[in-house]
A and B are shown apart, each in its own frame.
Chain A
Amino acid sequence: MAIDTKKCVGCGDCVVACQTENNVPHGYCRDWIVERVDGTYPSLSLEFRSERCNHCDNSPCVRCCPTGASHKAEGGIVLVTHHKCIGCGACIQSCPYDARYPHPEGYVDKCTFCIHRVEKGQKTACVDVCPTHCLHFGDLDDPNSDVSLALKDRKWKVLAPEAGTKPQLYFLT
């Protein structure tokens, strides 16, 4: 997924759409908005980032999971099999992005890139609802996908690349 920080206005629609689509319990969230301010007044710069699980290529959560509940699905989406998760919290400790949380029902929960929608050929709930069209989703291996096209001629960054997890959320700057 690519997030255009120049277009994002931090409205939080993606957060609400995700909570509704995925029945996220009250007080929890799978995605969130970070507002970053740099500089000294009056020359300030502002960046909005819609953040979620980075679905890392080298995912520490998948490696440290003792039961195999955390796994990488075909296509690279990182998922948690609820009935295999024992709620030990290892994956929560291992995530440099704090993208996971313990669901009140016991298992660990996180962004699934709305796999139930993606499998039907739809876009994720957050992408669908974004009023500024700042979110681009798709298969990075397909050069004509929405996300590949968005990354093609823009500068981008990933968060905490030094953590070595090869994150797959690209922030267009």
Chain B
Amino acid sequence: MNEELFVSGRDIPNIDPYLNIWHWQIPLYLFLGGLAAGILFFAGFYTVRGKADRMQATVKWAPLLAPIALVLGLGALFWDLKHELYFWQLYTTVRLDSPMSWGAWTLMVITPLSLVWVASYMKEIFPWWDWKFSFLNKFEAWVIKNRVGLAWVMMVYAVILGVYTGILLSAFNARPLWNTSILGPLFLVSGFSTGLATTILLSKDPKERKRLSQIDLIFIVIELFLITHLFMGFLAGSETAIEAANLFLGGPFTVTFWVFVVALGLIFPAVLETLELLGYHVPKWLPAVLILFGGLMFRFIMVEAGQITRYLY
């Protein structure tokens, strides 16, 4: 027998017996951040490739949602803070060691950037749109002229944002489930996939949808590959890592993870997208909605399960 007990009656709210300090706000933000990163990356990508006219939803329509997602995500983050009124302290310093500091500054760049991008397409999307002030018109003309440059910057920041949603968690050595470098690319790929799914939902052009579905299919395969790698890494790791993997391999998160994230959120939509590409009729919204649902579930499960994992001593 070896048993450890708190004999001084330690029972701190949200800390004991299991850490549960981050609730729904953080996974929701990670989802919205990844989604916005996906939308903005592909808007930039097809602009750089000069295919803006053939990919209308990707370049013009979907980015409308990016600033909304980012602002909602920021709202969730703000809600999560326990000492909210001091949030501005984030912007008084740059802390290179802290992923959260990186994230705060990345959001400070990419949120306005996405707004500028959307603003440059406002007149095309809403023909009645009027900027009212001449300096805004001049600014718009300047942005339209420099769209390709802006697209490059946006792509870079989209990748940073997407990777950051994973690194935020993977930097915590004390939580073995998160403490793996695969989380960065995994969250990036998953975020891009949810961004593509959102764009597929908005697109009215079957050719554009087909192209996006093809890319999404590749991302889903990469995601499945990374998830396999994640568990291989854990099972070949230390006891804490094996315990973390066991939460999903027979532990309390087994069913939710493998059914909702892997089967319904990845494999099933991948099969549907393949059937669609082969010419079968599949409701266009179904795979996209499943991917969004799977992406959201994935983040909720990772955040909750990660907090349970810890060092044993």
A36 to B6, CA, bound (A): 9
Q: Is the CB of A60 within 8 A of B84?
A: no
Hey, what's the 0/1 contact readout for B7-20 against A, CB within 8 Å counting as 1? 11011111110010
| Residues of the B chain whose Cβ atoms lie less than 8 Å from the Cβ of A15 | 8
Select one of A68, A85, A93 contacting B93, CB under 8 A.
A68
Q: Given A60-B173, A93-B172, A162-B311 in contact, is the A69-B19 Cβ separation under 8 Å?
A: no
Where chain B touches its partner, the secondary structure class is loop
Q: How many A-B contacts if CB must be within 8 Å?
A: 151
| Residues of B within 8 A of A (CB-CB), count | 48
Question: A33 interface residue, CB < 8 Å from B?
Answer: yes
Q: What's the minimum C-beta distance from A22 to chain B, rounded to whole angstroms?
A: 15
Chain A CB count within 10 A is highest, among B7, B22, B307, B310, for B7
- Distance from B286 Cβ to chain A, minimum over Cβ atoms (Å): 36
Q: Is B98 a contact of A106 with CB atoms below 8 Å?
A: no
For the side of the interface on A, what is the size category?
35 or more
**Cα–Cα distance between A84 and B13 once the two chains are bound (Å):** 23
Chain B hits for A121, CB < 8 A = none
Question: At the interface with chain B, which of A24-32, A112-120, A127-135, A143-151?
Answer: A24-32
- Given the interface pairs A29-B8, A93-B307, A106-B84, the reply to whether A64 lies near B172 with Cβ below 8 Å is yes
Task: Pick 15 A–B contacts, CB within 8 A, sort by A.
Answer: A10-B8, A28-B12, A32-B10, A38-B2, A65-B95, A67-B86, A68-B93, A86-B82, A86-B89, A87-B81, A87-B83, A90-B98, A93-B19, A105-B83, A163-B174
Q: Within the complex, what minimum Cβ distance (angstroms) separates B278 from chain A?
A: 45
B313 within 8 A of A: yes
- Once bound together, how far apart are the Cα atoms of A102 and B307, in whole Å? 15
**Chain B contact residues, CB within 8 Å of chain A:** 1-8, 10-16, 19, 21-22, 80-84, 86-87, 89-90, 92-93, 95, 97-101, 103-104, 171-175, 238, 307, 310-313
A76 on interface, CB distance cutoff 8 Å: no
CB of A83 within 8 Å of the partner chain = yes
Bound complex: CA of A83 vs CA of B89, how far in Å?
A: 9
Report the minimum CB–CB distance from B169 to chain A (whole Å): 8
Q: Would you call A66 and B7 a contact (CB within 8 A)? A: no
Q: What's the nearest-Cβ distance from chain A to residue B116, in Å?
A: 26
Contacting pair B15 A101 (CB below 8 A): yes
| In the complex, residue of chain A having the shortest beta-carbon distance to the beta carbon of B13 | A27
B298 → A minimal CB distance (Å): 18
Interfacial residues of chain A within 44-80, with CB under 8 A of chain B in the complex: 44, 48, 60, 63-69
Q: How far is the CA of A40 from the CA of B2 in the complex (A)?
A: 9
> A92 at interface (Cβ–Cβ under 8 A)?
yes
Q: How many angstroms between the C-alpha atoms of A101 and B171 in the bound complex? A: 19
Distance in angstroms from A134 CB to nearest chain B CB is: 14
B86 to chain A: closest residue by CB? A86
On chain A, the residues within 8 Å of B12 by CB distance are: 27-29, 101
For the complex, give the distance between the alpha carbons of A101 and B11 in Å: 11
Quick check: A39 and B86 within 8 Å, CB to CB?
A: no
> Cα distance A105–B84 when bound, in Å?
11
Q: Give the CA-CA distance A162 to B98 in the complex, in Å.
A: 21
Interchain residue pairs A-B with the least CB separation, the first 7: A87-B82, A106-B83, A87-B83, A66-B100, A66-B101, A96-B174, A33-B8
* Minimum distance in angstroms from A162 CB to a CB of chain B: 7
A92 touches B2 (CB 8 A): no
Q: Which of A12, A33, A89 contacts B22 (CB 8 A)?
A: A89
A99 to chain B minimum Cβ distance, whole angstroms, is 9
